[in-house]
Homo-oligomer: A and B are copies of this chain.
Amino acid sequence: MPKNAEIIAVGSELLTPQRIDTNSLTITHHLNAIGVEVVAKHVIGDDRTRLSDTIRLALERSEIIILSGGLGPTEDDVTRDAVAAALGRKLAIDLQQELILRAKFEQIRRPMAAINLRQAHLIEGAEPLPNPNGSAPGQYIELDGRAVALLPGPPHELKPMLENELLRRLRKLLPGEVIKTRSFRLTGIGESDLDTLIAPVYTKYDNPVTTVLSSPGDLSVHLRARAATEADADELLHEVGDPIAELLGVKVYTEDPDESLEAVVGRLLKQQGATVATAESCTGGLIAYRLTEIAGSSDYFVAGYVTYSEAEKREVLGVPGELIESHTAVSEPVAAAMAEGARRRGGATYGLSVTGYAGPSGGTEQDPVGTVYTGIATTEGTRVLRVRYGMGRTRIRTLAAQFALDLLRRTLMGSYFHRPHM
């Protein structure tokens, strides 16, 4: 049986608009590595009752409870009390811990105030976890196959205690289990269509667990498999991941969860010794900005032209004035001429262009706000695709830039769109 964990961060300062609990990321990372899944996280202020109620709920449904913070010497530090209350156990001073604490104060030649003795209080049955980087010891309590740990809040105290003391105790609780993951990052499909497409595959499996993440124009599918051995976990990931990969095809731009679309495009350009120049109207420089986020992009990014006015389209990109007059600046022929102009002007292998109506005003009856033409000029000719996006200037610009980068990626892979769709 795999074990589940809940993490409880204690401290009213973590409930302000400025602060966030980041200890839980370190704890999650280490728990996942030993096969423990984190199923809930909580941040509770310095309130004994609320904290012990939350601990009780967590204990009812999860095997491992890790608390951080609230181990200081003051009245505000309620973690020891709340855990003792939730478990129905006593809290008492521990003579060994009192000696250690007094020695620490001696060492830094500071008198020890009486309230500091609270830090030498141990919950009945708890094993103290040494804290070489601070005054409060941690505590570890095992209850038939389950465990509760109290760790100090400061990251430089918590991390060493977690890594050097807690993890090996938790490992003894666990059935020897391995967790492995596989990810797909993709674009060119909406979240619900993605789910309709792949749900028939993944819903048949509880293991691996499949999750879909979505931001405008960008999706990812994560599989996480738990198994007794690495080989078994890999097999599960193949069993579910391979059919998903086949269904998604060229929509997947990477299986590396940390590689962005612009990084993939950069990698392909570099591999092919190719370069790109951009001509942007409604995206206003976003494509150039994203391409140049990648370190070393000067190897393949030549230039970006943000030609917002018609005069600029004519003068910098050489778009014929008649073309703009007869078709308007947002049209297929102008997108083509912009891509070709950028390619020629920059002396690049590829020219990538975007012209459209990002709104809120503008647009025509035929091409209302949200209509965007994306052009790509190559050695073999020029293609233009028309897409219509809904709702919101920022969103339209974000989606249009994503689409243009993906058009470049697909062109570099020799795999064109049949029907553009986002």
CB atoms of B50 and A39 under 8 A apart: yes
Min distance, Cβ A228 to any Cβ of chain B, angstroms: 23
CB atoms of B73 and A191 under 8 A apart: yes
CB atoms of B20 and A74 under 8 A apart: no
Residue A45 CB within 8 A of the other chain: yes
Say which residue of B16, B156, B192 sits within 8 Å of A28 (CB atoms): B16
Q: Which of A314-361 contact B (CB under 8 A)?
A: 315-316, 345-347, 359-361
- Chain copies in the assembled complex: 2
Q: Point out which of A215, A309, A360, A394 has the most chain B C-beta atoms below 10 A from its C-beta.
A: A309
Chain B residues contacting A199 (CB-CB under 8 Å) are 74-75
Q: Which of A89-97, A122-130, A237-245, A281-289 makes up part of the contact surface?
A: A281-289
Min distance, Cβ A292 to any Cβ of chain B, angstroms: 3
The 10 closest A-B pairs by CB, nearest first: A284-B292, A304-B306, A285-B285, A285-B288, A108-B390, A17-B29, A285-B289, A41-B43, A303-B312, A288-B306
Question: In the assembly, what is the distance between CA of A104 and CA of B390, in Å?
Answer: 8
CB atoms of B46 and A211 under 8 A apart: yes
Chain B residues contacting A305 (CB-CB under 8 Å) are 303-306, 316
A154 (CB) vs chain B CBs: closest residue: B215
CB atoms of B133 and A395 under 8 A apart: yes
Question: In the assembly, what is the distance between CA of A72 and CA of B195, in Å?
Answer: 11
Min distance, Cβ A389 to any Cβ of chain B, angstroms: 7
CB atoms of B53 and A45 under 8 A apart: no
Residue A40 CB within 8 A of the other chain: yes
Chain B residues contacting A104 (CB-CB under 8 Å) are 390-391
Residue A207 CB within 8 A of the other chain: no
Chain B residues contacting A42 (CB-CB under 8 Å) are 40-43
CB atoms of B32 and A39 under 8 A apart: no
Say which residue of B25, B54, B60, B209 sits within 8 Å of A40 (CB atoms): B54
Chain B residues contacting A53 (CB-CB under 8 Å) are 57, 60-61
Chain A contributes a number of interface residues (CB within 8 A of B) equal to 113
A and B contact pairs by CB, cutoff 8 A, 16 listed: A15-B40, A16-B28, A18-B211, A20-B20, A40-B43, A40-B45, A53-B57, A53-B60, A73-B195, A104-B391, A110-B190, A116-B192, A156-B216, A288-B288, A303-B307, A305-B306
Question: In the assembly, what is the distance between CA of A15 and CA of B190, in Å?
Answer: 24
Residue A416 CB within 8 A of the other chain: no
Min distance, Cβ A331 to any Cβ of chain B, angstroms: 17
Question: In the assembly, what is the distance between CA of A250 and CA of B297, in Å?
Answer: 37
CB atoms of B57 and A61 under 8 A apart: no
Min distance, Cβ A410 to any Cβ of chain B, angstroms: 20
Residue A383 CB within 8 A of the other chain: no
Residue A175 CB within 8 A of the other chain: no
Question: In the assembly, what is the distance between CA of A20 and CA of B360, in Å?
Answer: 29
Q: Which of A10-34 contact B (CB under 8 A)?
A: 12-18, 20, 22, 25-26, 28-29, 32
Chain B residues contacting A292 (CB-CB under 8 Å) are 282, 284-285, 306, 308
CB atoms of B312 and A346 under 8 A apart: yes
CB atoms of A308 and B316 under 8 A apart: no
CB atoms of B304 and A316 under 8 A apart: no
Chain B residues contacting A309 (CB-CB under 8 Å) are 298, 302-303
CB atoms of A25 and B20 under 8 A apart: yes
Chain A 145-159 near chain B by CB (<8 Å), digits 1 or 0: 000000000101000
Question: In the assembly, what is the distance between CA of A321 and CA of B265, in Å?
Answer: 31
Chain B residues contacting A28 (CB-CB under 8 Å) are 15-17
Question: In the assembly, what is the distance between CA of A392 and CA of B392, in Å?
Answer: 31
Min distance, Cβ A193 to any Cβ of chain B, angstroms: 6
Min distance, Cβ A100 to any Cβ of chain B, angstroms: 13
Residue A109 CB within 8 A of the other chain: yes
Question: In the assembly, what is the distance between CA of A63 and CA of B54, in Å?
Answer: 17
Min distance, Cβ A361 to any Cβ of chain B, angstroms: 7
Given A41-B15, A50-B39, A388-B108, check contact A291 B295 (CB 8 Å): no
CB atoms of A308 and B301 under 8 A apart: yes
Residue A38 CB within 8 A of the other chain: yes
